[in-house]
Chain A
Amino acid sequence: MIPGVDGFIYPNEVELQWGLLVVLYPYITGLVAGAFILASLERVFKVEAVRPTYRLALLTALAFLLVAPLPLQLHLGHPERSLEMYLTPHRSSAMAMFGFVYLWYLMVVLLLEIWLEYRADIVRLAQTTTGWQRLVYKLLTLGSENVSPEARRIDDKVSYVVTVIGIPSAFLLHGYVGFIFGSIKANPWWSSPLMPIVFLFSAMVSGIAAVLVLYMAFMKIKKMPLDMGCLDTIAKYLFYTFVIDFSLEMLDLVQRTYEADESFRTLDFMVHTRLWGSQVILQICVGTLLPLVLLAANQLWRFSVSRRKAMYLAASLLTMMGIFAMRWNVVIGGQLFSKSFLGYTTYKVGFAAREGLLSAIGLMALPFIIVVVLVKLLPPWAEGKPSENVVG
């Protein structure tokens, strides 16, 4: 008997091929897509209430997007060859498209939109700061210092178009990540046309929750008052998106249970044993139902400001944990059972290994550090004022 193995598995299946770092990859790209879609609520759908988080959402998306390829890079057997994906992409591979979708999203959508949004501020800062800061802002102007009302009007128009392109791009970025898993016919836990849609909605849920948490944290640090109207609106959108996300996941579950194809017995047993803690307890009960109850209560009753703040914060943190558990259950769960449907293996996370816990913690901390730097460099709010955007 091989330790950690129950029943019969093909002999090459003992070790999991995709570990914790591959769990981080869809989690991080999901946060990017979700944060961007929250930003576009204000820009395209004119939800004025969420304006205080517009810029923060963009910076959050950028911070996570910059980190997104790192877990994959660390995971590769030969990271030095990763450029080959750009140079000689295999057109039939879903994964080969990652580089292009990523670059498109980073260069064409996110960087352009952030630059256009901040252009007037950058020009002003380039004129008012001194020393190295001045140099940085000078570089960031990209040589364009025209901030006349006419120029700003053009910026605004272009920025609107970029956001309109950005929404399907954000859908593409994360829907595509779902497709990487959903298109593997060899694996019944993954193979589902619902996978890209489920990934997309769970991305929106986690991204909205992340921006809400970051907004509350920054306001606390900067000792600025929270805009409760903004918070209430974000919580409302979080609730609606979460309801759709949860319904889709339940639809998938009901379909699998009702169809009960040849893989069902194996997967059902896995959910009741190896995945019980991470899926049923963490993902569904603590990470989905509990935040849904907290958010739903706020749609039904009016609580005091301090209570609302606490409930939103708790719901968002639980949501972020729940979506992480969902990514874990998809990626790791999909490799715990044998493709023979006759046995199971076990996954143990290393601690200081290349793909271990320490790397994962470092990679998860990195975007938060980047966000702090970005907020310092490109302030989303006028300091000292109630949380409103800097007027350009």
Chain B
Amino acid sequence: MDLSRRDIFKIGGKLLLLASAGATLDEILGAAPPSEAYRMADHWWGMIIDIDKCIGCGSCVRACAQENQVPAGFFRTWVERYQVEEGKQPLVDSPNGAMDGFPPSKRTDLKSFFVPKLCNQCASSPCVQVCPVGATFVSPDGVVLVDETYCLGCRYCVQACPYGCRYLHPQKRTVDKCTLCYHRITKGLTTACCENCPTGARQLVDFKNPKDPVHEFLRNNKVEVLKPYMATQAKVYYKDLDGAVR
């Protein structure tokens, strides 16, 4: 919240007047009370992705673009199609990030599957490490965010991200990326991509919630993160991730 000196005096005056009446700080500041108390320390967000459930429809990409006003040609989330032939480099495509799904494959004899991608919300994030002013950071609830009022637009973080998840917003001239729909998840909602996935291939998870199905999912499935050798402590887990996926 931006507070001018005038605002501080106003609030100070209100504080003096209202403190005796037992008003809460939020009432004094004029902010709407949250639907339920959200404590960052109680959460540690991530995502699980079931590759076999993804049908490559692109609903997640469209929902994300709409929800977050993602500029055309850039992607906070996208879907890749892998077509793998034995002993060969995989054929990969992602036309316009799969915004409109995929054209039918010309080959039917290949192992084929879809891989949704988004920021991996790394706990040990190389993008956060390199930011010269600390404009990008891991929030206490485990989401990698960018303060667009602070970002210099130097793009060192874009270079440091091993997964290609960041871009320079062409209008704002600051770096932009998936926020895991922070404005939604802190209100008890799920992300736009998860909400719009027709098959439930992607699910928002909270590792700090003992009742979250993620614990059972991780216990019962073979999972992997992207590029584990990068040691970024990524928090987006993929079920049955194929070795061909980059």
Query: Which residues of A come within 8 Å of B, CB atoms?
Result: 8-15, 17-18, 72, 75-78, 81-82, 84-85, 88-90, 92-96, 98, 180, 184-187, 334-335, 338-342
A231 CB → nearest B CB, Å: 41
Chain B interface helix/strand/loop/mixed: loop
Given the known interface contacts A77-B168, A89-B132, A185-B126, the answer about A11 and B94 at a Cβ–Cβ threshold of 8 Å is yes
Given the known interface contacts A12-B165, A93-B131, A185-B230, the answer about A76 and B153 at a Cβ–Cβ threshold of 8 Å is yes
Kindly state the separation between the CA atoms of A92 and B129 in the bound complex, as whole angstroms.
6
Contact (Cβ within 8 A) B153 A8: no
Q: Which of A8, A14, A76 contacts B73 (CB 8 A)?
A: A14
Contact (Cβ within 8 A) B158 A17: yes
Contact (Cβ within 8 A) B130 A93: yes
A317 CB → nearest B CB, Å: 32
Residue of B nearest to A181 (CB): B159
Residue of A nearest to B117 (CB): A10
Kindly state the separation between the CA atoms of A340 and B74 in the bound complex, as whole angstroms.
17
Which residues of chain B have C-beta atoms less than 8 A from A15's C-beta?
167-168
Contact (Cβ within 8 A) B159 A186: yes
Residue of B nearest to A80 (CB): B152
Contact (Cβ within 8 A) B130 A341: no
Contact (Cβ within 8 A) A342 B132: no
Q: Which of A88, A93, A334, A335 contacts B156 (CB 8 A)?
A: A93
Contact (Cβ within 8 A) A338 B164: yes
Query: Which residues of B come within 8 Å of A, CB atoms?
Result: 73-75, 78, 80, 89-94, 96-97, 117, 126, 128-134, 150-156, 158-168, 172-175, 230, 246
Which residues of chain B have C-beta atoms less than 8 A from A81's C-beta?
133, 150-152
A332 CB → nearest B CB, Å: 12
Contact (Cβ within 8 A) B92 A340: yes
Contact (Cβ within 8 A) A78 B164: no
Q: Which of A18, A84, A92, A334 contacts B155 (CB 8 A)?
A: A18
Which residues of chain A have C-beta atoms less than 8 A from B155's C-beta?
17-18, 77
Residue of A nearest to B136 (CB): A90
Contact (Cβ within 8 A) A89 B133: yes
Kindly state the separation between the CA atoms of A84 and B132 in the bound complex, as whole angstroms.
9
Greatest chain A CB density within 10 A among B90, B154, B162 is at B154
Kindly state the separation between the CA atoms of A339 and B161 in the bound complex, as whole angstroms.
9
Kindly state the separation between the CA atoms of A84 and B174 in the bound complex, as whole angstroms.
15
A235 CB → nearest B CB, Å: 37
Q: Which of A11, A186, A335 contacts B97 (CB 8 A)?
A: A11
Q: Assuming A13-B164, A17-B158, what are 6 further A-B pairs, CB within 8 angstroms?
A: A10-B94, A12-B166, A17-B168, A78-B152, A81-B151, A95-B156
Contact (Cβ within 8 A) B133 A340: no
Which residues of chain A have C-beta atoms less than 8 A from B159's C-beta?
17-18, 184, 186-187, 334-335
A130 CB → nearest B CB, Å: 47
Residue of B nearest to A91 (CB): B134
Kindly state the separation between the CA atoms of A9 and B95 in the bound complex, as whole angstroms.
11
Which residues of chain B have C-beta atoms less than 8 A from A94's C-beta?
130
Given the known interface contacts A78-B174, A93-B131, A186-B162, the answer about A11 and B75 at a Cβ–Cβ threshold of 8 Å is yes
Kindly state the separation between the CA atoms of A10 and B160 in the bound complex, as whole angstroms.
14
Can you give 25 A-B contacts (C-beta < 8 A)? A8-B80, A8-B92, A9-B164, A11-B96, A11-B97, A12-B75, A12-B166, A15-B167, A76-B153, A77-B175, A78-B152, A82-B152, A89-B133, A90-B132, A92-B130, A184-B126, A184-B130, A185-B126, A186-B160, A186-B161, A338-B164, A339-B163, A340-B92, A340-B246, A342-B89
The 8 closest A-B pairs by CB, nearest first: A77-B153, A10-B164, A77-B173, A186-B162, A8-B92, A90-B134, A340-B246, A96-B132
Q: Which of A8, A95, A185 contacts B132 (CB 8 A)?
A: A95
Contact (Cβ within 8 A) A78 B129: no
Contact (Cβ within 8 A) B92 A342: yes
Kindly state the separation between the CA atoms of A184 and B132 in the bound complex, as whole angstroms.
14
Kindly state the separation between the CA atoms of A96 and B133 in the bound complex, as whole angstroms.
7
Q: Which of B160, B173, B246 contacts A341 (CB 8 A)?
A: B246
A183 CB → nearest B CB, Å: 8
Residue of B nearest to A342 (CB): B92
Kindly state the separation between the CA atoms of A188 and B174 in the bound complex, as whole angstroms.
26
A205 CB → nearest B CB, Å: 26
Which residues of chain A have C-beta atoms less than 8 A from B117's C-beta?
10
Contact (Cβ within 8 A) B134 A340: no
Contact (Cβ within 8 A) B174 A93: no
A213 CB → nearest B CB, Å: 32
Residue of A nearest to B75 (CB): A11
Residue of A nearest to B176 (CB): A12
Contact (Cβ within 8 A) B173 A185: no
A69 CB → nearest B CB, Å: 12
Contact (Cβ within 8 A) B133 A88: yes
Contact (Cβ within 8 A) B154 A342: no
Which residues of chain A have C-beta atoms less than 8 A from B132's C-beta?
85, 89-90, 93, 95-96, 98
Kindly state the separation between the CA atoms of A340 and B165 in the bound complex, as whole angstroms.
12
Q: Which of B92, B153, B163 contacts A78 (CB 8 A)?
A: B153
Which residues of chain B have C-beta atoms less than 8 A from A85's C-beta?
132-133, 152
Which residues of chain A have C-beta atoms less than 8 A from B96's C-beta?
11
Kindly state the separation between the CA atoms of A90 and B133 in the bound complex, as whole angstroms.
5
Which residues of chain A have C-beta atoms less than 8 A from B80's C-beta?
8
Given the known interface contacts A10-B163, A11-B94, A12-B75, the answer about A76 and B152 at a Cβ–Cβ threshold of 8 Å is yes
Which residues of chain B have C-beta atoms less than 8 A from A10's C-beta?
78, 94, 117, 163-164
A2 CB → nearest B CB, Å: 9
Kindly state the separation between the CA atoms of A88 and B97 in the bound complex, as whole angstroms.
36
Contact (Cβ within 8 A) B230 A78: no
Contact (Cβ within 8 A) A12 B154: no
Kindly state the separation between the CA atoms of A78 and B175 in the bound complex, as whole angstroms.
11
